[in-house]
Amino acid sequence: MGSLVQSVDWLAIAPPTITAVVALGILVADLFLPEGRKPLLGWIAVTGLVLAGLSLLPLLDGDRSTFCLTGTKAGAGACSYTADHFTLVIQLLVLGGALLTALLSFSDIADSKLPAGEFWFLLLSSAAGAALLPASRDLATLVVALEVASLPAFALVGLRRGDSRSSEAALKFFLSSVTATAVTLLGASFVYAATGTLHLTRIADGLTHVDPRLAVLAEAGVALTLVGFAFKTAAVPFHFWVPDTYAGAPLPVAAYLSVIGKAVGFTGLILVTVVAFPSYADVWAPALAVLAALTMTAGNVAALRQRPDRERSAVRLLAWSSVGQAGYLLVPIAAAGYADDASRAIGSTVAYALMYAAVNLGAFAVAALVARTSPANRITDYRGLYARRPLAALALGFFLLCLAGLPPGVIGLFAKVTVFSAAIDAGLGWLAVVMAVNVVIALYYYLQWTAVLFRGAEAGAEAGTGTGAGTEGQERAPLRTSRSLTAAIALAAVVGVALSGAPQLVLRFASQALL
Amino acid sequence: MQILLAAIVVVPLVGAVAALLPAPPGLKGGNPDQAVLRHGVTVTGAVLALSVALAAGFDHDQPARMQATTDISWIPALGIRIHLGVDGISLPLLVLTALLTFLCALYSYFKMPTGPSPRAFVALLLVLESGTLATFAVLDLMLFFLAFEMVLIPMYFLIARWGGEGRERGAWRFILYTLLGSVVMLLGLLLIGIKGGTFDMVALATDNGSGLSHTTQVIAVLAIGIGLAVKAPMWPLHSWLPDAHTAAPTVGSVLLAGVLLKMGTYGFVRIVLPIAPEGAHAFAPYLAAFAAVGIVYGSLVCLALARSGAKGDLKRLIAYSSVGHMGFVLLGIATLTPTGVNGALFANIAHGLITGLLFFLVGAIKDRYGTSDLDQLSGLTGAALYGRAPRLGGLLAFGAVASLGLPGLAGFWGEMLAMFASFRPADGLSRPAFLTFMVLAGLGTLLTAAYLLVVVRRVCMGGDGDGDGVTPATAPGPDGTLADVRTYEFAAWTPLVALTVIAGLWPAALLGLTDPAVQQLLGGGN
């Protein structure tokens, strides 16, 4: 009889652990640092994230797992934490995304006087949860990781004290998210009741021979679990919180939610559908396909209807477009339910998510730059950006074209191609056509924004004389930059350009067995 | 040879980046704007020289073989390879593109369209050139799509920033129509790539559709066909073209008509015919029908625009005439016979030369008069260009006559061959239907002749221009005179005129290149 004590592979769990430990360190350090030295906390956070990212290197073989069940024969081999290739890629995405978010937070913290210690602690805690999630292989760890990633996010959204919009956004986000979590927990408990296990691989086994009397329970469990994750991905009909939350939250937090928040949802969805519920593919695959079609259509149509002169329309547009992008990300997951080789289809989602993370954060970084001089952050504020800040305008144009999938954003184009080919491969022709129409709708508004960047500023003054002299004066003011913001934009742009030159860097995930 | 072809695609891109950087100290002209425009002329000139060298080094005895091939793996995950090569079909289009872009750069050096900085203008022009050349040089379906899309952004900005009246609207229509079509085309290309197991055009053409089921081929041809037909443009998907052309600056119109439209018809010949022959067969009658309607429709619209009092815009008129001419190209392709496809390819080149010339001429007229409205130009009596600017008038008449297909000039052969082929289409296609299309096309040539002669009469002939009561157009010059063709205009236009005559008198030079390649594409790629 073997020991019941599970051995811990500290190296394998290093990425989330380092992040969490640094987060706690910041919380403690915040108590002892004088007010003037608070910016130091940010650099500690950045260092922590870089360290956590570096700790992925020893794991590249992708064959480690820990917290495995020992003892009884039936349970042997089921692990709660696995550092396979899928885990590593998503952890890279999460940590890289958090790093970019951190870089673009510096100036915002200074400008809007956010409490630095709390901000960095919450950001890193959430990142730790998000890094834990792709590695979890049992439902309990999965839900815990999901909550560790989400709870700090509520606080981050509401961090702007005294701003009613920020508080309202946080409340909206909190209430709808908690409901979803409750539903997930209920579903997980049903699944546990039906199969007697929480480990994903064993659930997959167990679901193939459920006691007929428990069949309804198992089905309900599967459906309810999925609902919770669909909420995190902001899929229709769980998307309504997105625009208000993004517009109300501090800008870096909106960027964080749009990338990491989504990555969390997708990772959970992939793990639950492909690893735990493959035998129910005939149920969840069509549902996800319909969900994908609805999500991308709702997001893109709403983005199309954004008025460019409305307050915070830039962030709102990015918010709605991120709903649309979530729809594209769902397509390969749905296709995985039809395809013989699910992991290839999953790879398309991963490749797309990596592309999306880099360029979307880049777009948010430029938005943060512009927001420093035009706090209203309307799309009309971007008029003539090329004349004032050519490099920032070129970068934003590049990011938007990547999101749209047009050359020179080659990586965006090929990421869409992998998604399309996953759909066609799985025989989901109708979904590919719906997506094609959506791509064109999205092209329209991305391109319109891009065109605004390069429009002459003088022409803008002529056309916009009615908007009032106050805003005109603001537009003339030179943009205030900050070094960290520039670094964030440059980092995102370098990643985007490198990927456009060598798309293989991310697209190879689309041809590999990740799980 | 390989390096030549790769350089032809890459040099303009490098040039585009260089155009955005500050000029090196040695090359600064008196004025930075002129320096960057000269940079554009240099780069496009180098590309033209490279493409002429490529044509000279091309093995003319084996035009059906892919030459100067490069084949490097780029994205193994998707099976996408950087596969370049030229054969008798793509070589003339490559040279035409390089030539027209060079002439446009030369023309803009002396006559920069009004708009923002020339720096961006030159960069966009070079990206546009690179994308067009890449479209004709790549042999991978995904790369073809990439190149096809690459021209959109530069063309959009060329129209929207340097265009004339209604440019925003024209640019939007251009890009939205083309995008809508090309996304659908992407689905078709992916379908072929996934079912056929490779994106390589040569391998797929060698299979000749044997690896693809009938249904796959039909769906793929429908999807790809829509994308290409928007670009070509085929009636009734043409409605973006007149707006875009009318609004575009002169060089934009020249490139749009001269080479961008060719990307659509080239795609039909390179992708649809050899890779999905059954699908092409299924849709050929419809394609031919739309083409025939397009021919008649285009010429009827032109006739209406040319009428006195119709407020017809000359640019718009030539744009609509493109719809008619491209109809002949599509008709030739739809016959699925070597004769027809050869005719289509010939008409492609001829249209590029002649319509390029016509847009240059109309642009010059618009610059001189400040309008291209036919009624304003000609008034009641006619603009009398023969009298006031004899060389300009003569060239316009030459362009019009070439465009209406006078034997001995380039416009004749392609359209004659297309009609000839529809007299005897490929086996299995309904002969009576194609006979009807032939008659319609013949009617179209008559109507084309009619409106072009009306245009010549109203613009070139007329009163003596003394202005006694019924002065046609506003007196443009300071003393009421009209500048005749300038030296730089001669430089930009003479090559087009010369090639139009040469292609008309010696069609074998071109047909000898295309025919073996066409025979091979239609006959199974062996």
Per-residue model confidence as pLDDT tens digits over A341-380: 777 788 889 999 999 999 999 999 999 888 888 878 888 8
Q: What's the whole-number mean pLDDT along residues A68-90? A: 79
- For B168, the closest chain A residue by CA position comes to A451
From chain B, the residues in CB contact with A439 under 8 A are 183
What six digits make up the tokens of B144? 């073809």
* Cross-chain Cβ contact A410/B146 below 8 Å: yes
Nearest by CB to B183, which of A440, A451, A510?
A440
Q: Does A343 touch chain B (CB under 8 A)?
A: no
Residue A369 inside a domain? The answer is yes
Nearest by CB to A504, which of B75, B120, B186?
B75
Count of pairs with CB atoms under 8 A, one residue in A, one in B: 82
Helix (H), strand (E) at residue B80: strand B80-86
Residues 6+ apart with CB under 8 A from B141: B189, B192, B193, B199, B200, B201, B204, B271
pLDDT at B27: 61
From chain A, the residues in CB contact with B227 under 8 A are none
Q: Does A401 touch chain B (CB under 8 A)?
A: yes
- For A409, the closest chain B residue by CA position comes to B150
Residue A472 inside a domain? The answer is yes
What six digits make up the tokens of A127? 């990142």
Q: What's the whole-number mean pLDDT along residues A383-395? A: 87
pLDDT at A476: 47
What is the gyration radius of the CA atoms in chain B, in angstroms? 22
Instruction: State the best of A448, A504, A514 to mutate against chain B, taking most chain B CBs within 10 Å.
Output: A504
From chain B, the residues in CB contact with A504 under 8 A are 74-77
From chain A, the residues in CB contact with B187 under 8 A are 420, 424, 432-433, 436
The domain tally of chain B equals 1
Residue with tokens 């985007």: A496
Residue A462 inside a domain? The answer is yes
* Cross-chain Cβ contact B194/A421 below 8 Å: yes
The domain tally of chain A equals 1
Helices vs. strands in chain A: H and E counts, helices first? 22, 2
Nearest by CB to A418, which of B78, B120, B184?
B78
Residue A178 inside a domain? The answer is no
pLDDT at A407: 83
Nearest by CB to B194, which of A424, A436, A509?
A424
Q: Which amino acid is at B423?
A: F
What phi and psi values does residue B140 have, to the nearest 5 degrees? Answer: -125, 135
What six digits make up the tokens of B25? 């100290």
* Cross-chain Cβ contact B176/A440 below 8 Å: yes
3-state percent breakdown (helix, strand, coil) of chain A, nearest 5: 75, 5, 20
Instruction: State the best of B78, B177, B219 to mutate against chain A, taking most chain A CBs within 10 Å.
Output: B78
Range list of H helices, B138-260: 141-150, 152-162, 167-196, 201-207, 214-231, 240-247, 250-255
The answer, yes or no, to whether residue A2 has pLDDT greater than 60, is: no
Q: Does B193 touch chain A (CB under 8 A)?
A: yes
pLDDT at A74: 57
pLDDT at B524: 59
Residue A137 inside a domain? The answer is no
Nearest by CB to A510, which of B77, B157, B219?
B77
pLDDT at B146: 92
What phi and psi values does residue A431 have, to the nearest 5 degrees? Answer: -65, -40
Instruction: Give residue A460's domain range.
Output: 281-515
- DSSP-derived pairing of the beta strands B67-75 and B80-86: antiparallel
Q: Which amino acid is at B267?
A: G
Instruction: Give residue B25's domain range.
Output: 2-522
pLDDT at A479: 57
What one-character DSSP code corresponds to residue B313?
B
From chain B, the residues in CB contact with A440 under 8 A are 176, 179-180, 183
- DSSP-derived pairing of the beta strands A64-68 and A79-83: antiparallel
pLDDT at A463: 39
Helix (H), strand (E) at residue A383: none
Mean pLDDT of chain A: 85
What one-character DSSP code corresponds to residue B373?
B
- For A501, the closest chain B residue by CA position comes to B74
Q: Does A424 touch chain B (CB under 8 A)?
A: yes
From chain B, the residues in CB contact with A407 under 8 A are 131, 146, 149-150, 152-153
* Cross-chain Cβ contact A443/B161 below 8 Å: no
**Mind listing the pLDDT tens digit of every residue in chain B (526 residues)?**
888 899 999 999 999 988 888 766 666 666 777 888 888 899 999 999 999 999 998 888 888 888 888 888 888 888 889 999 999 999 999 999 999 999 999 999 888 888 788 888 899 999 999 999 999 999 999 999 999 989 988 999 899 888 888 888 888 889 888 888 888 999 999 999 888 888 998 888 888 778 888 999 999 999 999 999 998 889 888 889 989 998 899 999 999 998 899 999 999 999 999 999 999 999 999 999 999 999 999 999 999 988 877 788 888 999 999 999 999 999 999 999 999 999 999 999 999 999 999 999 999 888 888 888 888 887 767 777 777 888 888 899 999 999 988 888 988 999 999 999 999 998 888 899 999 999 999 999 999 999 999 888 888 887 544 444 444 455 454 445 677 788 888 888 999 999 999 999 998 888 988 999 998 888 754 4
- Burial pattern A439-465, b for ≥16 Cβ within 10 A else e, equals bbbbbbbbbebbbbbbbeeeebeeeee
Which is more confident, A480 or A11? Answer: A11
- Write down the ipTM of this complex: 0.87
What's the per-residue H, E or C state across A88-145? HHHHHHHHHHHHHHHHHHHHHHHHHCCCHHHHHHHHHHHHHHHHHHHHECEHHHHHHH
Q: What's the whole-number mean pLDDT along residues A234-252? A: 83
Handedness of CA B93, B99, B105, B110 (dihedral sign): negative
- Closest by Cα among B344, B463, B352 to B399: B352
* Cross-chain Cβ contact A417/B186 below 8 Å: yes
For chain B, the first-to-last Cα distance in angstroms comes to 23
* Rounded Cα gap, residues B351 and B260, in angstroms: 12
From chain B, the residues in CB contact with A432 under 8 A are 187, 190
* Cross-chain Cβ contact B180/A456 below 8 Å: no
Find residues 72-91 of chain B whose CB sits inside 8 Å of chain A. Answer: 74-78, 80
- Closest by Cα among A105, A93, A127, A134 to A495: A93
Residue A215 CB coordination number (10 Å): 12
